[in-house]
Structure 1
Amino acid sequence: MKTERGEKGFLTAVIGVVLIIVIFPYLSQAAIPQKINYQGYLTSSAGVPVDGTVQMIFSIYDNSSGGSALWTETQNVAVTQGVYNVKLGEVTAIALNFDIPYYLGVRVGADAEMTPRVALTSVGYAFRAKTVENFSSHTHSGEDITMGTVGEARIDALIARDAEVTTAVNAHASRTDNPHSTTAAQVGAVALNQPNSITSGMIGAGQVGATDINTAEVQRRVSGSCGVGSSVRVINADGTVACEADDVGITSETDPQVGSNTLNYIPRWDGSALVGGAIYDNGSIGIGTSSPVSKLDVNGDVNINSSLAYKIGGSAVLSTKGTGNTFVGNNAGLNNTTGNNNTFLGYYAGYANIDGDYNTFLGRGAGRFNTTGNNNSFLGYLAGYTNTTGGFNTFFGYYAGYANTTGNYNTFSGDSAGYANTTGFCNTFSGYQAGYNNTTGNYNTFLGYQAGHSNTNGDQNTFLGFYVGYNNSGGQQNTFLGNFSGYNNTTGYYNTFLGNGAGSLNTDGHDNTFLGYQAGHSNTNGSGNVFIGKGAGYYETGSNKLYIDSDYTTGSYPLIYGDFSANSVWINGTFNVTGTKSFVQPHAKDPTKEIVYIAAEAPEAVVMYRGTAQLKKGVAIIELPEHFSVVSAENGIQVQVTPTEDCNGIFVQRKSRERIEIRELMKGKSRAKFDYLVTAVRAGFEKHEPVVANTNFRPKENETAKRFEARYVEEDMNTKAMRAMLISNGILTQDGELNMEVVKSLGWIVKDAEVAKIQQ
């Protein structure tokens, strides 16, 4: 049978049996009922009362266990809050003699029969009275027994011959329900085995009804009576009676049994007499107070045995079972046996805990199925609900860590955070449904609304932000920071996406680094990329690319573009350095050295072309390549020629960016060879000014003198060169300190060191 949230279990029952058989006083005139009333209480395996209609099978055996059923029937039984009533024999008549012990077995649906079987008590054996119906016929005339009348002679005989009637009447006198009537139960039953006389032994319990006794006739034979406030306790053989005061409670404040000022107080027995008690009863019970404001009002501490629980409506709501435990709530910690130092607060919180220690479960169903898990803290509705042996977990929020079973060292904070985690460990999920589907993934940190929502077995991921890494399932060792960053990543690994929307379309790409708003946005499965800046590499779908820019770019047009597979870098802009521009290569002949060449530097943007040519009859016309001509300015062409063979000398007759004309001096006609070098100013950069206003070698805005000076304290070649020039132009003193007189004269503003210290 299913109970709430899919719990499954066989039904168990706590059974209370009431067997009621009514036997009429005239056995020969009334049929014996062939049914037995049966009442029970039915719950699920979790102790929840059953509601609804249940198929039940009832059987009677002559053995407490084993054997074959002597009688059985099946009924569809209506159950309300666990309670049900049936009449056994309703479907199949009970044809048993009840002359030996019988046992009742109960089974629910397809479940096994409940154990132990219930022994039927003596009431059930009233069926034995049915044998009286087969007794030989015997008739008594009205003279013998007339309905409602027993003759005087017979009363005399009964009183004189048998003390049993006297005892029965005495017993009647002690009754408080009706002291002046006698019922069949008080007189006894007659075994009808004598034809014309009735003895006391013939009158047995239940055999003579109240209408069979002539009350007036009996009273005529009793010579005494009792006054108001007392009743007959004993009838003597001579008809006199002994009276006793009715035990009707304390009638006044000065009742001699308990003293004064005891109205509404329940007396107590001190060992020899009734004395005034401390329990007050005026319809509400007060203990320690005479002004109870509810049905039970206690003025003082209440203590219950440590092995018991305080119950409401039959369900435990407060218990301290075990050592150092506090269980508050309906069935909270109900099954705890040896677990210690636990705090469970809420409906069914820690319900199944057996020997788990140092747990704190707060909320309805929190940690309900924990059995031996230790050092857990679950706070929220059904938080850690199915945890069994997992330890050192912290689940905070509605359904947080709901499905965790054996996972350890997890921290889940937020509505449904880590909901499906089962065995994953060392995870930290914070935010609504963060890590919702994680089952076996380990060492993950998901922080933000649905961050890492779909991760199942991915490990060592860090996702921070709204929807970050939402679709990641098995990807590992990724770091995504920023709303929607890595949103579509599924199995990609070793990725670092920082910025809103960074790498949001990546699915299974790996080893990527995207830094900036929507950096690498469109890259789906590329690998080995580095995109830095807003929109850097936004449209790039390939691998092994470098983008550094501050805006959306395509192709090779960002500020810096590179191709790692080709070991190449492009800079789309001016490249300024304070040091040298050089290339480095290994020394071809000395393994302990390397070669460093510095690039040529000039006050202008120079382009050049060089080569070797030969005179023909003293003349050489050299066509310059197109790539040189298109980058060179029209004006400013310079040509250097150097003869490498004997001649009269050579000179430049004409020059342009398209060609140069070389001739031999003195109209020589030789075929001498020569080298040439053509230089030009780069087109578009003709107006470059090598001397500009100082913006880089002066204190920055809000920079302190000490911080500026710290730029130039190193002893490397570049720093020493810069320091020497700053000392030369007066910005620094010979001691390397900022020259405040120059600073003041140039109108520069330097932050005071103490002010800077306070602001930092």
Structure 2
Amino acid sequence: MASPTDLFKKLTKKNIDAYQRRLGQLELSDSTIKRRISAIHKFCHWATKEGYLPDREAISIPDRKRFNLYKTYTSLSITKYLHYAILIILCAALGFGAYDQFFRRAPEPFAYPTALTPPKRYLSFQGRLTDSSNNPITSATNVVFKLYNVSSGGTALWDSGTCSITPDQDGIFSVLLGSNCGAEIDTSVFTENAQIWLGITIGADAEMTPRVQIATVGYALNAETLQGYPPGTGTSTIPYLDSTGTLLIAAASPTLQSNSGTFAIKGQALSITTASASDGNITLAPDGSGVLNLTLSAPTGKVINATDAQLGTSGQKEENTLFYGEVANDNTNLNLLKLEAGSTPVPKFTVDASGNASASGILRALGGGNNYFAGNVGIGTTGPGAKLEVGGQVK
């Protein structure tokens, strides 16, 4: 027969919860379930008070209707798919929120710097100070660090000045050169020297030998430059776009060159100008047999428009020309000007190398003044023998 102590041991929360579930499954009335649970609750309270049981949680009376509703819900075949749908919707919402926050609406100052941001030129160095007996030095000690481009001798490229170093109980110290010891290391130290050595001087002693060669990792500072050239707006620098979108090339005669294919410049509108007050020229010079093509598609307007508000204010008439062209040879099998029109273009006006002009339409002299012809004029004949020769009748 079980002892009373064994019976009390069976009054566990697990067994009481199982008993509550069993009462709910027996289809008993709510009042019956409450009475039985209340009896167990009072008994446990008495047993706890008498010291037979440790403190226990209060026993709750199950809600029969709630239990039956949950049982009915979990028995539906669609329940599993509903759970999957809720999970997919939740994951999609979280993914969209993350994309919207960190990518689509990422503030530009956080996504990209608004100005060039070079790294700090610091070098981390750690060492251990000992005396001649190899005992650690723990007191503050003056140390000088220098950078050289040679393993011995030479001139220092960077000097920390005197730095006070306080080692720990084992004589170990750590210092950040260019930050808490000396001024920031100049950019040219790494960009203009293939190898760098660190010289160390302790107190009044001579510089320690040998010097410590800076490993390759120190040259991560060279990420600030490209082949040793820093970004900037002066000569011998890498050009970059500033916050206004301006690309400044400081060289005297810079070149933008494409070695193959077609070099294209495209924009909503293009403007090629020279600097203000520079009086500079703009030259278009195709090489060899290359030609200058202007392909236009404007349906109306002055498609080729040359404007000069100052032309003619000085100089002689022959020096002032709005449109000028020159063929620098004596060949005659060419035209100085040829204008064509039509869906199938045909010549409308031509001026050849000898200055002969021909027009397919009517030639009108609209000015009110006199018109002059230096040679003979022929009407109805191409070879007039007098100042005016008419081939045919004159009415």
Structure 1 length-normalised TM: 0.15
Q: Which has the higher contact order (CA 8 A, sep 6+)?
A: 2
More strand by share: 1
More helix by share: 2
The structure that has the greater radius of gyration is 1
